[in-house]
Amino acid sequence: MRMISKMVLVLVTLSVTALMAFDVAEVNKRTTKGFKPAVVKDWQAPDEKTIPNNMFGDYVRYGKQLITETYKYIGPEVADKNMRYAGNNLACNNCHQDAGTKKWGAPYMSTFANFPQYRNREDTIGTIEERINGCMMRSMNGKPLPVMGKEMKSMVAYMFWLGQGVPIGAKVEGAEFPKVDRKIVMKRAADPIKGEVVYKENCASCHGENGAGVKREGKANGYEFPPLWGNDSYNTGAGMYRVLKSADWIVANMPLGATNQSRILTDDQAYDVAAYINNYDKPRPKKANKEKDFPDVKVKAPDTDMLPYLDDKTRHQHKFGPYKDIIIPAKK
């Protein structure tokens, strides 16, 4: 009888572990569009000289300006209060590097071709405009742009222009985030103490010891180097606030001059410094209604620190790892 009880307990435990962790295969199932996507390996940014001298071209050029100098046009310090959509003085370009053209730097070359798409954060089929406004309310700590307004249309026009020739639904090499070694994150938690050492040696010279960045003089003039925490940085609902997401971006883009092919930090260093930057002792704006993110916990991002979870891991472990038994890799 005891043997049967133990066997039942083992089977239940195994079933619970498999069912209640973040299942990559389930996310893949929901994001598939039902056809085999084309693969583009040699994308090159189009020549800006080809932007036409007409209304469409004006929107494309304005869209790029909005990406590179967000603070100048829709930031919190612009003279026209009705245009203050961003809540901080960052630029989209801070994350979407080189105006969204840098491979593995959160680029835009395949963005237009891949919407609408399933979004697990909202558990819905999202539009490109909704995705842009997600950044506006999170990374930019602001409010949504009017969907039919010139600013939204211009950003979409710029992304459309960048993606010329990219097939619908295509996977473009360099469009995705690279990933720090998942064997590392499965085995150990990110260490903010080690991350502080990495930060002081590799990041503080630009972003400052206090993470405040270097602000340019004058109003609506943005930063030479953006703040990584504090009141003028991204809020707790931003993707960059999540340790895994942040580490994946950092490893291929930071410090300044790094690329995915010529990395400066190791995977361990990127993992640890992401934890340091996003640790709970760093002040930053709070995202309102963050508890509504990932309403279907079966596809909740593994590194979000917002309860509830379907596994038995703590909020702290979801934030910092280790991610063994939190992430179930998809079978190859």
What pLDDT was estimated at residue 21?
72
What pLDDT was estimated at residue 3?
42
What pLDDT was estimated at residue 294?
96
- Per residue in 57-69, pLDDT (tens digit) is 999 999 999 999 9
What pLDDT was estimated at residue 17?
40
Whole-angstrom Cα distance, residue 213 to residue 233?
A: 10
| Nearest alpha carbon to residue 86 among 218, 209, 208, 223 | 223
Q: Are 263 and 179 in contact (CB under 8 A)?
A: no
Low-confidence stretches of the chain (pLDDT < 70) are 1-20, 332
The pTM (predicted TM-score) of the whole model is 0.92
